[in-house]
């Protein structure tokens, strides 16, 4: 059975996290993703511990199903090879700072002369325009400008960084994936390519759907720890158990809150779901005192018997072995030549007919030079073999 993106060729000039995650999503569904790396060390994430078969575990996870070719784009001869490769491509994705590809002579305006149907996606921190266009940055900086980082953490503490990279993945990688797929669909009608400008800051701002609309409507500033889903309500809080573990409570709806209060033996709290802030703080203290009397698993056993939104806060080890994660096959085992069976994160998108597949291990640096150059009809020099 053919894959959804079979026949789509993607040139991946990205490295580190956002771009490789974006192209991994495309490769998992059959796109021919060619990782175009420099001739020195290639993608930085090849290095790092723990190492599997000479490459970091993260690199293996992000770069499965791809091929690798190493080219020096500062060399006129190898730049010609790259342009020949562009002529065969449907999509190009890069994550350099704005202007870098232009200075190399292979920016969008130049490449579309050779391939008018090319979809060119640039994933950057701040986008291709605006006063921050030349600023350097990482995930924490984009979240800072988005107003998101300032809202993370406890009410009277300092802002706390996320455990995962929200702007990199949610604002950059996923928006890039969507942008490319939308452009592919549009190209079927127009026959033309286009430039897809993805800003990780823009993407992070777009995630503020439960916070920003209220401010735009009222001009009332949200406060850390003072929002409905971020510390304001006793019904939506994390509580510590007797064994120094935690449970999360998300009993926002009255029916869930009522059952929660019954289980903890405090039916007097049922009518206080929407109580004022001071009362909410008192309720939290009283609930915490109750939750401290039993272990996490004892509470979960009790709550599993009723219809309410309570969950154990798991460690990564517990998550990997959780029955729901196993049932959904979110941790898959694949056999890699020379390595054996390797566990990795599966693709989260479940299609009924054409599911994502892992058909290639992550490539070695320039592993497919000969294969790809021969596809282009280039005669290899001894130094290129």
CA distance 180 to 251: 38
Q: Tell whether the model's pLDDT for residue 59 goes beyond 90.
A: yes
pTM, whole model, 2 decimals?
0.93
Residue 91: strand, helix, or coil: strand
* pLDDT at residue 24 in the model: 98
pLDDT bucket at 231, cuts 50 / 70 / 90: confident
Mean of pLDDT over the chain: 94
Q: Tell whether the model's pLDDT for residue 226 goes beyond 80.
A: no
Q: Tell whether the model's pLDDT for residue 384 goes beyond 80.
A: no
Q: Which residues are catalytic?
A: 138, 168
pLDDT bucket at 380, cuts 50 / 70 / 90: low
* pLDDT at residue 74 in the model: 95
Question: Which comes out higher in pLDDT, residue 337 or 74?
Answer: 74
Mean pLDDT calculated for residue range 71-100: 97
CA dist 145 → 135, 142, 151, 176 (Å): 12, 5, 12, 20
Q: Tell whether the model's pLDDT for residue 383 goes beyond 60.
A: no
Segment 302-358, tens digit of pLDDT: 999 999 999 999 999 999 999 999 999 999 998 877 778 889 999 999 999 999 999
- Beta-carbon contacts of residue 265 (< 8 Å; ≥ 6 apart): 290
Mean pLDDT calculated for residue range 164-173: 97
**Would you say 49 and 130 are in contact if contact means Cβ atoms under 8 Å apart?**
no
Element (H, E) at 78: helix 76-87
pLDDT bucket at 382, cuts 50 / 70 / 90: very low
């Amino acid at each position: 059975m053919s894959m959804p993106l079979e026949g789509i060729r993607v040139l991946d000039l990205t490295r580190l996290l956002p771009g490789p995650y974006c192209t991994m999503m495309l490769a998992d569904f059959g796109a021919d993703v060619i990782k175009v790396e420099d001739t020195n060390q290639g993608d930085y994430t090849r290095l790092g511990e723990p190492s599997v078969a000479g490459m970091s575990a993260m690199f293996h996870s992000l770069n499965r199903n791809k091929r690798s070719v190493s080219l020096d784009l500062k060399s006129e001869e190898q730049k010609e090879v790259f342009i020949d490769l562009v002529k065969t491509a449907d999509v190009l994705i890069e994550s350099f700072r704005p202007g870098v590809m232009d200075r190399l002579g292979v920016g969008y305006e130049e490449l579309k002369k050779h391939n008018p149907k090319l979809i060119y996606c640039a994933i950057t921190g701040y986008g291709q325009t605006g006063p921050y266009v030349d600023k350097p940055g990482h995930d924490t900086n984009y979240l800072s400008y988005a107003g998101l980082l300032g809202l993370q953490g406890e009410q009277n503490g300092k802002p706390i960084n996320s455990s995962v990279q929200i702007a990199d993945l949610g604002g950059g990688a996923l928006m890039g994936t969507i942008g490319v797929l939308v452009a592919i669909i549009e190209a079927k009608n127009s026959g033309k390519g286009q430039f897809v400008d993805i800003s990780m800051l823009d993407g992070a701002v777009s995630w503020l759907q439960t916070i920003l609309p209220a401010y735009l409507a009222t001009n009332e500033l949200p406060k850390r720890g003072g929002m409905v889903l971020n510390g304001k309500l006793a019904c939506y809080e994390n509580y510590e158990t007797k064994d120094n573990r935690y449970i999360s409570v998300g009993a926002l709806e009255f029916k869930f809150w009522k059952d929660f209060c019954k289980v903890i033996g405090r039916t007097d709290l049922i009518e206080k779901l929407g109580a004022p802030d001071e009362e909410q703080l008192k309720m939290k203290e009283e609930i915490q005192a109750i939750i401290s009397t039993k272990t996490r698993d004892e509470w979960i056993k009790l709550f599993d018997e009723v219809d309410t939104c309570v969950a154990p806060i798991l460690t990564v080890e517990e998550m990997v072995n959780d029955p729901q994660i196993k049932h959904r096959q979110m941790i898959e085992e694949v056999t890699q030549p020379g390595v054996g069976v390797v566990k990795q994160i599966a693709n989260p998108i479940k299609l009924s007919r054409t599911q994502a597949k892992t058909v290639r291990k992550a490539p070695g640096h320039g592993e497919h030079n000969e294969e790809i150059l021969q596809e282009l009809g280039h005669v290899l020099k001894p130094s290129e073999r």
